[in-house]
Amino acid sequence: MGNKTNTVRREIQMDDMETNPMYMADDEADANKESKNVKELRELRREIDRIVAEGLCPPEEWYQTRRCTIETYSELDWSGLVNRFDEHDLYMHSTALNIMYNIQVLLEEHDQMGHFDLRNFQHLIHDIHNIWIYFKDKYIGEETDTDVCDLIVGLSHI
């Protein structure tokens, strides 16, 4: 894997990640208000946080499944978001640039090695989650931001 550590790594199974209560929504009432895709993003975030924190070593199938997730996120118009917020919102602009960069790095790593750096994947998932929350809190409801709304609509259909 990208960074070698002295941490003892344990193999984990896909079933463990899908049934572990750690991946369940913290508050059922709030979870029901969220779209299915936002819930999935939160679950991905909890999953990768646990994997990194506990030094787990996912199986090859996990990497392949997450590669598909990365490819799905790569299809969103991140460059449109970068251009839209170039001079208007430094956080949106720089976070979208980071997302584009991390997507490229992760896909290249997977192509070359069959896996990718878990911390880079963690950063990607956190950035996507954070940009969603930031955008929702700051911009949802502004009909003039059609480019951003298109991106978010795309995110909502993942």
> Given this model, what pLDDT does residue 99 score?
98
Residue 11 has pLDDT above 60, yes or no: no
Beta strands in the chain (DSSP E): none
Q: Residue 141's pLDDT band (boundaries 50, 70, 90)?
A: low
Total residue length of the chain: 158
HEC states along 134-158? HHHHHHCCCCCCHHHHHHHHHHHCC
The residue among 138, 131, 116, 149 whose CA lies nearest residue 41 is 131
Full-model pTM: 0.70
Residue 48 has pLDDT above 60, yes or no: yes
> Given this model, what pLDDT does residue 131 score?
94
96 within 8 A of 81, measured Cβ to Cβ: yes
What does residue 11 show for φ and ψ, rounded to 5 degrees?
-70, 140
